[in-house]
Homo-oligomer: A and B are copies of this chain.
Amino acid sequence: MSPTTTARPLTEASSDPAYLALADELEALVARLDPGDRLPSEHELTASHSVSRLTARASLQELEGRMLVRRVRGAGTFVARRIEYPVGPSMPPSASEMVRRAGGIPTSQIVSVQHRRPTAEVRDALGLGSDDRVVAITRTGQVDGLPASFGTSHLPADLASGITGYLDDGASIYRLLSDEFGLTPVRSWARAELVVVPRDVAPELGADGRPLVWRLESCNEDRSLGRPVELSQTWLRADVYRVRFELGEGE
């Protein structure tokens, strides 16, 4: 409205470029808001801070890079909900439990259930022979309705082919194995890594570009059977899950 003349350093200190100063100002704002709250739009920031749209945009993208906000085309920029996800020697905490603990609402859907020949990688992990089959259960997960995870669990068909009858959206495979099949899976190994999301996985996670995501693989075995009963391979959005690794401490 009023003729504010030139672009100056905003509130923040000294030599930062305008978009970083604005980003820091917005970061302080985010800290006062709740997950899901909307931030000012690019247009609003352009008007209120007398900067070009590109500068306003750069500041919001900076916050997206810091994983503090999530931007949705046509809708706006929203405070992100971050889920703590510890990975350690003890059994993995249920992902949906961690979401609820962070105040979020977890949902999930089954994408496909397939009876099929395993790949060599899956066959090795599950200790199967070349004629054995697996049940491959692929699911997507959301936090507060937004895509957050995507992955596949492989179960030896001879152990768990009857599982298809029990599956429904939101089912816990761990609980099915233990309640319906009398198995008590414990982790035999796990791996985790931060990678650029593959082209084909990106849309499953609602990702526009090629952001960084977590790749988690873990294998569970049943002690009494003495053999692996589940291999799970999962992608997690890094802006949703804060994966933290812990070794030792109280072993």
The residues of A with any CB-CB pair to B shorter than 8 Å are: 20, 62, 65-67, 87-89, 187-194, 196, 209-212, 219, 238, 242-249
Contact = CB atoms under 8 A, between A and B. Distances in A.
Interface of A, secondary structure class, is: strand
Among A190, A246, A247: residue with most chain B CB under 10 A: A247
A189 B248 contact: yes
B193 A242 contact: yes
Tell me how many chains of this kind the complex includes. 2
Contacts of A219: 248
Given A65-B209, A191-B245, A194-B242, 8 more contacts: A88-B247, A89-B248, A189-B247, A190-B248, A192-B245, A193-B242, A193-B244, A194-B243
Contacts of A88: 247
Nearest to A192: B245
A16 B188 CA distance: 41
Contacts of A244: 191-193
Contact of A210 (B62, B89, B212, B248): B62
A69 B209 CA distance: 17
A244 B244 CA distance: 12
A199 to B, nearest CB: 9
Contacts of A67: 196
A247 B89 contact: yes
Given A20-B209, A209-B20, A247 B187 contact: yes
Contacts of A187: 247-248
A190 to B, nearest CB: 4
A143 B66 CA distance: 25
17 contacts: A20-B209, A20-B210, A62-B209, A62-B210, A65-B210, A87-B245, A88-B247, A187-B247, A189-B246, A189-B247, A190-B247, A191-B244, A192-B245, A194-B238, A212-B212, A219-B248, A245-B245
